[in-house]
A and B are shown apart, each in its own frame.
Chain A
Amino acid sequence: MPKKAILCVDDEEMILTSLKDQLQNHFEDRYQYEFAESADEALEVVEELSEDGMEVLVILSDWLMPGMKGDEFLIKIHERFPGIVTVLLTGQADEAAIEKTRQHANLHRCLFKPWSEKELIETLVSGLEKT
């Protein structure tokens, strides 16, 4: 049975590196972890996985990135894959963008950098329960 995936999107490699091991440490081998450094790359990844018949359960996305920002990206994802749980992880609170994502991408939660491991895991666990 193919594994299901969790996708993290952030233009900062240091963020992806630290998220990767947090996920690995907590969920171990239960999921496949995917990483993308931009929204465009993330869209490619989601398409590829979907072609391979692999389901993406949760997307954790930064908001402020070069090119497409997190709110726009998650809204796009939600239109195409309404079942994917969306989470924002942002270093800068932009209330309007968060609200937009809440309304148009069914945002599960917004986390703020620097996040704690506990809130990250709680958010992902509660998000995974929805899928």
Chain B
Amino acid sequence: MNSARQNIMVVDDTVANLKLLADILADQNYSVRPVPDGKLALSAAQAHPPDLILLDIMMPDISGYDVCIQLKADERTRDIPVIFLSAKSDVTDKVKAFSVGGLDYVTKPFQAEEVIARVETHLKLRRLQKELEEKNERLEDTLRQLKTTQDQMIQREKMAALGQLIAGVAHEINTPLGAIRASISNVTKAMENSIERLPLLFGELSAQQRSDFMALVKTALSNTERLSSREARKTRKLLTKKLASREINEAASVAATLVNMRVYKNLPPFMALLKAPNNTFIVQTAYQLVMQQNNSQNIVMAVERASKVVFALKTYTHFDESGKKLKADLAQSIEVVLTLYHNHLKHGIEVSTHYEDAPEILCYPDELNQVWTNVIHNAIQAMEGRGRLDIRIGRQNGNIRVRFTDSGPGIEAAILEKIFDPFFTTKRAGEGSGLGLNMVRRIIDRHEGKIEVESYPGETTFSFLFPIEAG
């Protein structure tokens, strides 16, 4: 039965008892260490902790109780099961034996079978307890590892979202930068050209023509209307026909330049000028002046665009070091995410927003940005880049309700209840960690908010409810 040869220490000041117990236990194939007094027992147990101790109570110098108290006080011997042996059979003695940490009590004179049975039971209990402790430790360790892995995955998820965002932002910034760089070169060129051409032109023009020329430039500069490419093309075609019908040379070229200059409405005052034989030189020189304004305006627009993106980026990553909630406007925070996602959305997604007046709420703004990012990103993926995304903010029973409705294929009912579970994903391996919506739920929980999902083919709605704080 005891193949492991478990080690039992027997402590008794009566040599005959010691011998008897040692024999009984040795017969059961235990390894026995007989010890005649308490002090020796303590030092021996500390040096080589046995698996179990049989401890006599009544001993000279130091009693079994005190030995037990000291065993329990020492880290090395605390967990060794102690069974008391005593002739005393008073209830109070037994109670004391248990109160100092004994596990069991055998009354002398004892029966060999009883001692063996109790020893076996306690060794078994001790072994089971040890196994349990080890298992617990292993489980705790596994749990720790899982938590670390989960933290890493959440981090990776955030980094992946950030990566996509940065790619989009790069595009959003490079576009205005491209326009700025090109427009600056245009302004420089136009200025050089103007300086070169104006004296030549003015030498060729009559006083009346000069005055018409200045009027043409002024008309162009005062019109800030911007035509779409389609409108410009249409206008240019009409104007070409009109000019050709008035027998104006190079009608197509002159018309193109006039449309570039945004002079196409009230032309009669300029007809005389346009009929001049050097008309292309005249309008192109005028255009060189207008070009400086056009491109300056273009730069202003581009700078505004870039600033908007940078502002959105700054707001997106803004979070309070104190870890306290801040007052924030939900519509504004959604707009920030839409600005950054403009690049992903503009491929083929029609975004509509309806924001009712809603008070600012106390929240963790950077976390809510992550919620909007996740939901918008999921919607884009569900719609495979084409469809409609409707975003609404409104009030409902003391809550602010934020709704995102996409025109994607919908979420199957069987899956619907799992979408917030960690690591649940319908995306292919490598595309999603399955943590996005889990993160969303944890963030909404932190805001004491509620999430509702409704999904039909062609219409999936994620609603977020945030309580409006009293006062």
Residues of A bordering B, CB below 8 Å: 3, 11-22, 24-25, 28-29, 32-37, 41, 45, 64-67, 69, 89, 91-92, 112-117, 120
Assuming A17-B295, A25-B186, is B229 touching A41 (CB within 8 A)?
Answer: yes
Contact B181 A21 (CB under 8 A): no
- Does B185 lie within 8 Å of A14, measured CB to CB? no
User: What secondary structure prevails in chain A residues at the interface with B?
Assistant: mixed
- Are B175 and A15 in contact (CB-based, < 8 A)? yes
Question: Using an 8 Å CB-CB cutoff, how does the interface string of B333-375 with A read, 1 for contact, 0 for none?
Answer: 0000000000100111000000000000000000000000000
Report the separation of the CA atoms of residues A34 and B260 in the bound assembly, to the nearest whole angstrom.
12
Given contacts A18-B295, A67-B347, 12 further A-B contacts (CB under 8 A): A15-B179, A17-B298, A21-B294, A25-B186, A25-B190, A28-B284, A35-B229, A35-B232, A66-B346, A92-B167, A113-B175, A114-B179
11 pairs, A vs B, C-beta closer than 8 Å: A3-B252, A14-B298, A17-B179, A17-B183, A21-B295, A22-B182, A35-B229, A35-B233, A37-B228, A65-B347, A113-B174
* Contact indicator A91/B226 (Cβ below 8 Å): no
The total number of A-B Cβ pairs within 8 Å is: 116
**B291 located at the interface, meaning its Cβ lies under 8 Å from any Cβ of chain A in the complex:** yes
Which residues of chain B are near A45, meaning CB under 8 Å?
233
CB distance from B362 to the nearest CB of A (A): 37
Select one of B175, B185, B284, B287 contacting A91, CB under 8 A. B175
Check if B186 sits within 8 Å of A18, measured CB to CB.
yes
Nearest Cβ distance between residue B149 and chain A, in whole angstroms? Answer: 31
B: which residues have CB within 8 A of A? 167-168, 170-172, 174-183, 185-186, 189-190, 193, 226, 228-230, 232-233, 252-253, 256, 260, 280, 284, 287, 291, 294-295, 298, 301-302, 305, 343, 346-348
State whether A29 and B280 are in contact (beta carbons under 8 Å apart), knowing that A11-B346, A24-B260, A91-B170 are contacts in the complex.
yes
Whose C-beta in chain B lies nearest to the C-beta of A118? B185
Docked CA distance A66–B302 (Å):
19
List A contacts of B298 (CB < 8 A): 14, 17-18
Once A21-B295, A32-B256 are accepted as A-B contacts, the answer to whether A66 and B175 lie under 8 Å apart by CB is no
Q: Would you list the 10 A-B pairs with minimal beta carbon distance, nearest first?
A: A113-B178, A18-B182, A91-B174, A114-B177, A92-B171, A14-B179, A114-B178, A91-B171, A113-B174, A21-B186
Smallest beta-carbon distance B229→chain A, Å? 4
Q: With A25-B190, A41-B230, A64-B171 known to touch, is A18 a contact of B252 (CB < 8 Å)? A: no
- CB neighbours (8 Å) of A65 from chain B are 346-347
Q: Is the CB of B182 within 8 A of A117?
A: yes
B252 touches A114 (CB 8 A): no
Closest residue of chain A to B228, judged by CB? A37
Evaluate contact between A14 and B348: CB separation under 8 angstroms.
Answer: no
Give the complex CA separation of A15 and B183 in angstroms: 9
Which residues from chain B contact A91 at a C-beta distance below 8 Å?
170-172, 174-175, 178
* Distance A34 CA – B304 CA, assembled complex (angstroms): 26
